């Protein structure tokens, strides 16, 4: 693009100019238009734990010059703001590639305009939103014309070196040594402190605050219900023994530099024996001993996409354990491929690869535990996998940027058993039929949609004993929406939702107070909500009576800093959602 045209972009940035940017193929395929919209905020938010990782500066002689200080600052900004969409190696993920053959051709002034103003196709407006100063915009325009630095790999030796056994297996209890009702224990992520709070669901008291990795993404239970596995975004896994007099860490390991997923073996005969974790960087998964976290196998996910293009960075976004075979269902985000990994013989590892759709994120089982439904979020699809036959059952078109968490299973009065997801990118809730036997005509189809409060939904939840369907809108830009919860009567979905003022019930002071992740207790008669505010503001857990939809309890404690995900032991152990 000539300098005269880029100057025009800077002086008069119009929608027509943005449309041209999209047409030239530089705009993102990310699912929302600007940083203040839910999907874009989700894709670019949170930051990568690799922001502080030392990386080698490979100077490109054709690129604008940068000092080492400038390079390091730009690299930190990139990993905090950009890597989530464009990938560590800038090869493209949910966002378009930012490789030097593209960026050098565009030039600094064009790139400055694009970074500052964004695009309707999904590139956030980093400059005009105030997220980046003009100097930082200039810095980033020069940085992405440099060769991308490559983070270090993480080998089996690196993983083993990080492993710590805090209490050896032979020193651990042989029976439960406390009187807690472990079935109703909640593991609550304290995102910004690198901890989880273990809360007694019966008494609503904190049992222990356990040190973990940064921003724990999920908690997973061993098949026996004894061991709790948590994984941070920094790829640190903590193994918590719930049989101790006070449940606490007994082992830990770091499986990479950035991660989101951990799971344990559930098939009969393999209970508690195997664990697996998937990483964002390096793009691989690690199979470990269940009670010691000793690494046994490291497998790369680099390879071809469902479109038959090579991708060097397919991040492992979610993993579930099959109930039908000794297999893990491992989802490679960028390739759109689902790996059915047989863990019964690690020396002769067998993997069935299923082509689905990009970009695989999170999902859950249907009510029978046979079919796994996973969101291909930027493709606006749900992939359905038959874990008994190891085949793709269907690809279902849904709304914009589905984000189900684990989803919600219930029996619809017309369509029979269904599974549902909310969306980041629109206000719809998709209802998918899941019974290919008694309701074959509805199976693996989006049989209906209902309206929610708006976009920005992260989690949807119900329980086999409940008639309520709960939907959050955590990332909606309207505080009245993000601070409340929508609830539907499953038998009268067409009547619409009612809203409950969860943040108001929390009785907190100022702050964002975003409401997220409905989670049931073991009995299915309470629903717990996180009221998530800033690190320096008060947060809380609000407990609602499921039958009456009335406030039951508010859990407040100075140690409950930025509570996000909550995982009930019984429901997590048995995949109840």
Residue 123 in 3-state DSSP?
Answer: coil
Q: Let me know if 492 is a catalytic residue.
A: no
DSSP-assigned states of every residue in 57-86:
----TTSPP--HHHHHHHHHHHHHHTHHHH
Which residue among the candidates 217, 311, 361, 412 is catalytic per the annotation?
361
Catalytic residue (one of 34, 217, 323, 403)? 403
Contact 385, 393 (CB under 8 A): yes
Whether residue 34 lies in the annotated active site:
no
Across 228-249, b (16+ Cβ under 10 Å) vs e yields bbbbbbbbbbbbbbbbbeebbb
Contacts of 128 (CB under 8 A, 6+ apart): 116, 117, 118
435 in Cβ contact with 416 (< 8 Å): yes
**Distance between CA 149 and CA 253 in Å, rounded?**
26
Q: Give the strand pairing for 195-200 and 206-211.
A: antiparallel
Whether 304 is a known active-site residue: answer: no
Residue from 50, 66, 123, 446 carrying the catalytic annotation: 123
Please identify which of the residues 50, 82, 221, 340 carries the catalytic annotation: 82
Alpha helices in 391-512 (DSSP H): 479-482, 502-506
Q: Catalytic residue at 86?
A: yes
b/e 435-464 (16+ beta carbons within 10 angstroms → b): bbeebeebbbebbbbbebbbbbbbbbbbbe
Q: What's the CA gap between 34 and 46, in Å, rounded?
A: 16
Long-range contacts of 558-561 (CB under 8 A, 24+ apart): 559/190, 559/197, 559/206, 559/209, 560/188, 560/190, 560/197, 560/206, 561/190, 561/192, 561/193, 561/535
Distance CA 252, CA 236 (A): 7
CB 369 within 8 A of CB 323: yes
Of 34, 86, 323, 463, the catalytic one is 86
Residue 437 makes CB contacts below 8 A (sequence gap 6+) with: none
- Separation of first and last alpha carbons in the chain: 52
Residue 123 known to be catalytic: yes
Is 217 known to be catalytic? no
Q: What is the dihedral of CA 558, 559, 564, 567, to 10 degrees?
A: -130
Give catalytic residue positions. 82, 85-86, 123, 361, 403
């Amino acid at each position: 693009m000539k300098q005269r045209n880029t100057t025009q972009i800077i002086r008069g940035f119009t929608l027509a100019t943005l449309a041209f940017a999209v047409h030239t193929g530089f705009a993102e395929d990310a699912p929302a238009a600007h940083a203040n919209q839910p999907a874009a905020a989700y894709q670019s938010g949170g930051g990568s734990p690799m922001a502080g990782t030392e990386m080698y500066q490979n100077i490109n002689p054709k690129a604008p010059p940068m000092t080492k200080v400038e390079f390091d600052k730009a690299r930190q900004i990139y990993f905090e703001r950009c890597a989530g969409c464009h990938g560590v190696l800038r090869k493209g993920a949910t966002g378009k590639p930012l490789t030097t053959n593209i960026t050098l051709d565009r030039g600094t002034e064009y790139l400055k305009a694009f970074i500052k103003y964004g695009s309707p196709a999904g590139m956030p407006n980093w400059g005009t939103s105030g997220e980046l100063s003009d100097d930082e915009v200039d810095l980033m325009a020069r940085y992405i014309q440099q060769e991308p630095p490559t983070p270090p790999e993480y080998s089996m030796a690196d993983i083993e070196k990080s492993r710590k056994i805090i209490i050896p297996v032979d020193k651990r209890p042989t029976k439960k040594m406390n009187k807690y009702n472990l079935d109703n224990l909640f593991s609550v992520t304290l995102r910004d402190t690198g901890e989880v709070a273990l809360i007694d669901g019966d008494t609503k008291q904190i049992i222990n605050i356990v040190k973990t990795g940064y921003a724990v993404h999920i908690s997973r239970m061993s098949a026996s219900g004894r061991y709790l596995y948590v994984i941070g975004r920094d790829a640190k896994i903590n193994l918590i023994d719930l049989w101790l007099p006070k449940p606490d860490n007994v082992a830990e390991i770091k499986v990479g530099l950035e991660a989101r997923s951990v799971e344990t073996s559930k098939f009969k005969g393999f209970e508690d024996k195997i664990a697996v974790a998937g990483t964002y960087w390096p793009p691989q998964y690690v199979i470990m001993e269940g009670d010691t976290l000793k690494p046994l196998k490291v497998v790369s996910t680099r390879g071809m996409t469902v479109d038959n293009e090579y991708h060097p960075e397919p991040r492992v976004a979610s993993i579930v354990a099959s109930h039908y075979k000794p297999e893990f269902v491992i989802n490679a985000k960028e390739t759109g491929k689902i790996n059915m990994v047989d863990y019964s013989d690690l020396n002769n590892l067998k993997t069935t690869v299923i082509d689905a759709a990009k970009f695989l994120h999170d999902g859950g089982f249907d009510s029978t535990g046979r079919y796994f439904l996973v969101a291909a979020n930027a493709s606006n699809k749900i992939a359905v996998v038959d874990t008994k036959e190891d085949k793709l059952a269907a690809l279902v078109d849904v709304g914009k940027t589905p984000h189900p968490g684990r989803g919600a299973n219930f029996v619809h009065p017309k369509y029979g058993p269904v599974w549902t997801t909310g969306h980041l990118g629109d206000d719809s809730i998709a209802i998918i039929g899941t019974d290919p036997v008694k309701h074959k005509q509805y199976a693996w189809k989006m049989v209906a949609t209902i309206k929610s409060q708006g976009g920005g939904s992260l989690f949807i939840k119900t329980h086999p004993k409940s008639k309520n369907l709960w939907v959050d809108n955590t990332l909606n830009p309207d505080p009245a929406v993000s601070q409340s919860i929508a609830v539907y009567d499953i038998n009268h979905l067409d009547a619409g939702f009612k809203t409950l003022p969860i943040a108001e019930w929390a009785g907190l002071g100022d702050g964002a107070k975003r409401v997220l992740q409905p989670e049931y207790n073991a009995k299915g008669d309470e629903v717990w909500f996180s009221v998530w505010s800033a690190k320096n503001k008060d947060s809380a857990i609000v407990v609602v009576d499921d039958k009456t939809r009335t406030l039951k309890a508010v859990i407040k404690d100075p140690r409950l800093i930025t509570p996000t995900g909550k995982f009930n032991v019984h429901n997590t152990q048995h995949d109840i959602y």
